[in-house]
Amino acid sequence: MSEMKFSDEHEWIRLDGDIGTVGITDYAQEQLGDVVYVELPEIGKQVKSGDEMAVVESVKAASEVYAPVSGEVTEVNETLSDAPETVNADALGAGWFVKIRLGDPSELDKLMDEAAYSAFTAGLG
Amino acid sequence: MRYLPLTDNDRQAMLAAIGVASIEDLFADVPAAARLEAPLDLPDHAGEMEVERAIAGLAARNLSPATAPSFLGAGAYRHHLPATVDYLIQRGEFLTSYTPYQPEVSQGTLQYLFEFQTQVALLTAMDVANASMYDGASACAEAVMMARRITGRNKVVLSGGLHPHYRETAATFARYSNAEFAAAPPDVEGVEDLGAMIDGETACVVVQNPAFFGHLGDLAPLAARCAESGAVMIVAVTEVVSLGAVRPPGEMGADIVVAEGQSLGNPLGFGGPYVGLLATRDKHVRQMPGRIVGETTDVDGRRGWVLTLSTREQHIRRDKATSNICTNSGLCALAFTVHLALLGSAGLKRLAAINHSVAVRAADVLGAVPGVEVLNDTFFNEFTLRLSKPAGAVADKLAQRGVLGGVPVSRFYPRESELANLLLVAVSETNSEADIAAFAGALEALL
């Protein structure tokens, strides 16, 4: 499995073969507060990098989750419909949102590594 | 705030300050053809007593359903309003409060809205209802948009039994969207089959029960047909008292139920303000427009109420909100809730039974008048008559004889000559045997 990459919209992606697992970052879940609902895309949906792909609702706000890469949605995390709090408990693991079959793996190069993302969020204050 | 008109000196000072000679000069850019040549021909000011007398004189020229035998319906219905309703809704805590922006401090408001939602869900046999919409027609239009969000489809099928105002309102709401409307022709006989209009592209089918022309139907087969195609079935109810007698839409497979709630608690009032009802299934609650009050417990474990699922709403979700409705018909919803609570379940059933039996009596008497044919095999408290003459002129002449004898269908379908002789007749518990006799007698003289 490859290293985790991060977008400036606070999504993470980790590649396994040609399938990328996508979720929101720990920073994002902390900013949102208690997550109460996650709206996931349909399996088979084609997304382009930057497209709105899912919606995450907390007690404070509703936010769009954007596709960090282009490709086809192959799987969604059904456990989030019954247990959205998983996003708070384990954002980078069990709280994943979707799996995407990457159309163009080179898009990953445009994303940040962990160090760059840490510096990015530190700069957000 | 005191209102003191400007003096001529005030006006001159202001005109001098901006450098024009007269107020007229400010309108120099407006083409002459679009301007009045002389001041509006309005009477001079008058004292309070003179104004009262003049206005009362104008009002007396109206023929009011409150005094004349009235059989007006077509989406707005006259019922007896218990005095308690008006007394309770005029309590200051209710009357002056606006939709709560800091909702949790307004526990009383939230509690009655919660009761309202519960009543609506029970009446319609649905899982969940919102805290009300502005009226039945806009609730229907919102339901159409909701169905398009649920299905991701744009084709909207409208029954020919749907109130024309509801049809027009849905079209107006969707005017700048890519919705495609397919409206069935007016279903005068209550025999339409919408099955052929539904396909895999259909977002929703909107039907009304009782229908615009009064017919009642079993909607279960249509619900099955909708489910087969993945379409949402929306059922509109314009006369909510019917739900005391008629099988509720939720028991016939409706996905969304919308209704005009005016009949309970609210007067005809020249057409508004009214109160829209919208109820749906649990699974669609996040696509529902409007405010929803939820029950919870506070830190001390006491029962309390909150606005819930607000992330659907415009003040949080901005342009992604399910709807731009940010409020509800609070006071009208309260009147609805008070009236329905006074009636109770048994009272509503009894009221509905009385409505139906008086209507059956009226249909029998009117149907016996030469030149009158009752079109309905089924109805609740409203039915359609086919007259031997154009109904518009007959209704005018009935009014001259002091009878508000129903609503001519041509008011809604002015170009459909085949509908010209149709008259919608609504009957309620407010109609006496003498009212029916007066109507039948006047009709007999005119036909």
pLDDT in tens, A19-44: 999 999 999 999 999 999 999 999 99
What is the nearest CA distance from A17 to chain B, expressed in angstroms?
Answer: 32
What is the nearest CA distance from B322 to chain A, expressed in angstroms?
Answer: 12
Angstrom distance (rounded) from CA B134 to CA B290? 10
Interchain CB distance below 8 Å, B311 and A62: yes
Q: Does B316 touch chain A (CB under 8 A)?
A: yes
Angstrom distance (rounded) from CA B154 to CA B320? 18
Residue of B nearest to A36 (CA): B309
Angstrom distance (rounded) from CA B347 to CA B121? 18
Residue of A nearest to B308 (CA): A59
pLDDT of residue B156: 98
Angstrom distance (rounded) from CA B263 to CA B276? 11
The encoded tokens of residue B385 equal: 């008559």
Residue of B nearest to A59 (CA): B311
Chain B CB contacts of A66 under 8 Å are none
Judged by DSSP in three states, B434 sits in helix
Q: Does A61 touch chain B (CB under 8 A)?
A: yes
Interchain CB distance below 8 Å, B311 and A57: yes
Q: What share of chain B is helix, strand, coil (3-state, %, to 5)?
A: 45, 15, 40
Residue B121: CB atoms within 10 Å? 19
Query: Per-domain residue ranges for chain B?
Result: 83-339, 344-446
Q: Does A119 touch chain B (CB under 8 A)?
A: no
Q: Which of B229, B278, B276, B228 is nearest to B250 (CA)?
A: B278
Interchain CB distance below 8 Å, A64 and B311: no
Q: Does B53 touch chain A (CB under 8 A)?
A: no
Scanning the structure block, which residue is given the tokens 């489910």? B227
The CATH T-level fold of domain B344-446 is: Aspartate Aminotransferase, domain 1 (3.90.1150)
User: How many CB pairs below 8 A link A and B?
Assistant: 13
The CATH T-level fold of domain A5-104+114-123 is: OB fold (Dihydrolipoamide Acetyltransferase, E2P) (2.40.50)
What element of type H or E holds B234? strand B232-237
pLDDT < 50 stretches in chain B:
none
pLDDT of residue B148: 96
Buried b / exposed e over B283-293, threshold 16 CB at 10 Å, is ebebbbbbbbb
Residue B130: CB atoms within 10 Å? 29
Residue of A nearest to B318 (CA): A62
Residue of A nearest to B283 (CA): A81
Residue of A nearest to B312 (CA): A62
Chain B CB contacts of A37 under 8 Å are 286, 311
pLDDT of residue B345: 96
Half-sphere exposure of A105 (CA within 13 A, CB side): 8
Which residues make Cβ contacts (< 8 Å) with residue B130, sequence separation at least 6? B117, B278, B279, B288, B289, B290, B291, B292, B328
DSSP letters, B93-138, are HHHT--S-SSGGG-HHHHHHHHHHHHHHHHHHT-SEE-S-BS-HHH
Interchain CB distance below 8 Å, B286 and A62: no
Residue of A nearest to B321 (CA): A62
pLDDT of residue B2: 63
Residues forming a β-bridge with B276: B133, B260
* Residue type present at position B130: N
Interchain CB distance below 8 Å, A37 and B311: yes
Chain A CB contacts of B316 under 8 Å are 61-62
What element of type H or E holds B286? none
Q: Does B317 touch chain A (CB under 8 A)?
A: yes
Average pLDDT over residues A60-83: 93
> CB of A108 within 8 A of CB of A6?
no
Residue of A nearest to B315 (CA): A61
What is the nearest CA distance from A62 to chain B, expressed in angstroms?
Answer: 6
DSSP letters, B354-369, are HHHHHHHHHHHHHHTS
Contacting A residues, span 96-115, partner chain B, CB-CB under 8 Å: none
Instruction: Classify domain B83-339 by CATH architecture.
Output: 3-Layer(aba) Sandwich (3.40)
Chain B CB contacts of A34 under 8 Å are none
Q: Does A39 touch chain B (CB under 8 A)?
A: yes
Angstrom distance (rounded) from CA B82 to CA B344? 13
> CB of A16 within 8 A of CB of A96?
no
Angstrom distance (rounded) from CA B427 to CA A124? 67
Environment class of B264 (CB within 10 Å of its CB; exposed 0-12, middle 13-18, buried 19+): buried
Nearest CB among A55, A61, A64 relative to B316 is that of A61
pLDDT of residue A1: 59
Q: For all residues of chain A together, what is the average pLDDT?
A: 93
Write out chain A in H/E/C secondary structure. Answer: CCCCEECCCCEEEEEECCEEEEEECHHHHHHHCCEEEEECCCCCCEECCCCEEEEEEECCCEEEEECCCCEEEEEECCHHHHCCCHHHHCCCCCCCCEEEEECCHHHHHHCECHHHHHHHHHHCC
What is the nearest CA distance from B235 to chain A, expressed in angstroms?
Answer: 27
Chain A CB contacts of B312 under 8 Å are 62
Beta pairing, strands B155-158 & A5-6: unpaired
The encoded tokens of residue B212 equal: 């615009």
Interchain CB distance below 8 Å, B320 and A39: no
* Cα–Cα–Cα angle for B273, B275, B276, rounded to 5 degrees: 135
Angstrom distance (rounded) from CA B215 to CA B377? 7
Half-sphere exposure of B443 (CA within 13 A, CB side): 33
Interchain CB distance below 8 Å, A62 and B316: yes
The encoded tokens of residue B110 equal: 């939230």
Interchain CB distance below 8 Å, B320 and A61: no
N-to-C CA span, chain B: 58
Query: Per-domain residue ranges for chain A?
Result: 5-104+114-123
Residue of B nearest to A81 (CA): B283
Environment class of B87 (CB within 10 Å of its CB; exposed 0-12, middle 13-18, buried 19+): exposed
Mutate to test the interface with A, among B153, B284, B311 (most CBs of A within 10 A): B311
pLDDT higher than 80, residue A74: yes
Chain B CB contacts of A64 under 8 Å are 320
pLDDT of residue A67: 95
Interchain CB distance below 8 Å, B311 and A39: no
Angstrom distance (rounded) from CA B42 to CA B44? 7
